[in-house]
Copies of this chain bind each other. A is one copy, B any other.
Amino acid sequence: MDPATAAALGALIRRQRVAALATLRDGAPNVSLAAYLAAPDFQAFRIRISRLAWHTQDLRRDPTTALAIAETDDGRDDPQTLARVTLRGEATELRADDPAFAALRSGWLERFPQSAVTFELADFSFWSIAVRDARFVAGLGRTHDLSPADLAAVARDGR
């Protein structure tokens, strides 16, 4: 992937705030919306979700998941040229006594100040999606398959 494409992917992941979250529900695909925060090295994507939501029920039964992060539709003539990345992996619930919790909480609150209330509600928790592979569609027909190591390089160099 050339430097400009890597920079575009890095900017997409850092700029957007919400992703489409795909889960398995009774063996069928389900998809919902979730705010996310990428780990600095792009190896994991964190979401904060309620136990009451379908996607959380789904992940408790089967942690296999995929996230799609897409460029905002700016009304351009051809929306199929919008950049988007699919990240596939496994989700793990993060306990409040996890060593990573405090740093994640402060990063999350910095990005989503309005979510402070969710830290007082017992039904919300962080889940961390460890990325197994990714597919970046930089535009129509410009598809790049990426490993976690490729993503780490994007996180490091794609600024």
Contact with B along A88-119 (1 / 0, CB 8 A): 10000000000000000000000011110000
A38 interface contact, C-beta 8 A:
no
- The A102-149 residues at the B interface (CB cut-off 8 A) are 112-115, 135, 137
Instruction: Count contacts on A: residues with CB < 8 A to the other chain.
Output: 39
Within 8 Å CB of A82, what residues of B? Answer: 18, 33
- How many protomers of this protein does the assembly include? 2
The reply to whether A33 and B68 contact each other, CB–CB distance below 8 Å, is yes
Within 8 Å CB of A27, what residues of B? Answer: 64
**What are 15 A-B pairs at a CB distance below 8 A?**
A18-B70, A20-B70, A22-B29, A22-B30, A22-B66, A24-B28, A28-B64, A28-B66, A29-B29, A29-B64, A31-B68, A31-B86, A32-B137, A33-B82, A33-B137
Chain A residues in the interface with B (C-beta under 8 A):
16-18, 20-24, 27-33, 35, 54, 64-68, 70, 72-73, 77-80, 82, 84, 86, 88, 112-115, 135, 137
